[in-house]
């Protein structure tokens, strides 16, 4: 009998000799598994951003080494000119007297995008954010490492349309183009295509209503 009691106590003990494991309470929510979609979208965002940075950096190095200020080769019958220009302002030569402020704004945008990436499950959002992030980083590199100094560096612009030396339209670079295309596409995507977590939108709001909990409750009641 005593042997049986000891055997029963052994069975009641947990695998480490402590109290027996308590089963999970009914209805308890299991820990969420890692979402492979989110990882793929983050890799897409990072890869696209890196590609934009590399292309932007390489084109600027080539332009600085090969172009002479005042000499603007043209292509496409004069539609596009390559002019070496230094821009202390934002994209398309805006806000030229606020270089260091713009640098801090760019840093804030980069941090914001990186925080948003934790919720990313949409391919469209990954592409848009990747373009914006790559363009922001590309121009920030100029702000940090080019003259006249840290966070005050002038961005290299070289694409001038309709005329040389930004005569008819502000000059820009690859980073500016990525920011513009990504920003416009992001607005269209957010309004008419999908939310950042991959839920499609319709009529300016996420399908299923603005309150998913209420939508589930209505389905149960029905």
Q: What 3-state class would DSSP assign to 134?
A: helix
Q: Report the share of the chain in percent with pLDDT over 70.
A: 71
- DSSP 8-state code for residue 82: E
Do 127 and 117 touch, CB atoms closer than 8 A? no
Alpha-carbon gap, residue 140 to 152, rounded angstroms: 10
Catalytic residue status for 176 = yes
Domain that holds residue 72: 36-196
**Does residue 88 have a pLDDT over 80?**
yes
Do 175 and 63 touch, CB atoms closer than 8 A? no
Q: Is residue 160 part of a domain?
A: yes
Number of domains the chain is built from: 1
Catalytic residue status for 157 = yes
Angle CA(110)–CA(145)–CA(63) in degrees, nearest 5? 100
Q: Is residue 169 part of a domain?
A: yes
Q: Is residue 116 part of a domain?
A: yes
Higher pLDDT, 105 or 206: 105
Q: Is residue 207 part of a domain?
A: no
Closest residue by Cα to residue 80 from 168, 179, 180? 168
Alpha-carbon gap, residue 127 to 93, rounded angstroms: 25
* Predicted confidence (pLDDT) per residue in 23-65, tens digit: 445 555 554 556 788 899 999 999 999 999 999 999 999 999 9
pLDDT of res. 176: 94
Task: Determine which one of 21, 56, 142, 157 is catalytic.
Answer: 157
Q: Is residue 136 part of a domain?
A: yes
Q: Is residue 212 part of a domain?
A: no
Do 127 and 46 touch, CB atoms closer than 8 A? no
Q: Is residue 53 part of a domain?
A: yes
Q: Is residue 182 part of a domain?
A: yes
* Predicted confidence (pLDDT) per residue in 101-139, tens digit: 888 888 999 999 999 988 999 999 999 999 999 999 999
Contacts of residue 194, defined as CB under 8 A and 6 or more positions apart, other chains included, come to: 122, 124, 125, 200, 201
Do 170 and 93 touch, CB atoms closer than 8 A? yes
Do 157 and 56 touch, CB atoms closer than 8 A? no
Do 79 and 162 touch, CB atoms closer than 8 A? yes
Beta bridge partners of 202: 205
Task: Determine which one of 11, 56, 142, 176 is catalytic.
Answer: 176
**Average pLDDT over the chain, rounded to an integer:** 80
Alpha-carbon gap, residue 63 to 50, rounded angstroms: 20
């Amino acid at each position: 009998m005593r042997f049986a009691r000891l055997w029963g106590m052994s069975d009641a003990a947990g695998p480490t000799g402590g109290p027996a494991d308590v089963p999970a309470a009914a209805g308890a929510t299991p820990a969420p598994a890692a979402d492979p979609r989110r990882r793929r979208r983050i890799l897409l965002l990072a890869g696209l951003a890196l590609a934009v940075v590399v292309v932007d950096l390489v084109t600027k190095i080539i332009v600085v080494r090969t172009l002479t200020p005042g000499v603007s080769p043209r292509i496409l019958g004069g539609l596009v000119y390559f002019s070496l220009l230094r821009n202390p302002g934002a994209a398309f030569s805006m806000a030229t007297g606020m270089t260091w402020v713009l640098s801090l704004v760019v840093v804030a945008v980069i941090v914001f995008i990186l925080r948003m990436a934790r919720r990313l499950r949409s391919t469209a959002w990954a592409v848009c954010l990747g373009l914006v992030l790559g363009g922001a980083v590309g121009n920030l590199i100029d702000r940090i490492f080019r003259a006249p100094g840290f966070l005050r560096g002038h961005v290299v612009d070289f694409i001038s349309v309709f005329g040389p030396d930004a005569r008819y339209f502000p000059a820009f670079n690859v980073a500016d183009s990525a920011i513009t295309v990504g920003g416009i596409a992001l607005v269209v995507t957010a309004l008419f295509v999908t939310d950042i977590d991959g839920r499609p939108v319709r009529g300016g709001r996420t399908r299923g209503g603005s309150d998913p909990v209420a939508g589930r409750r209505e389905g149960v009641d029905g």
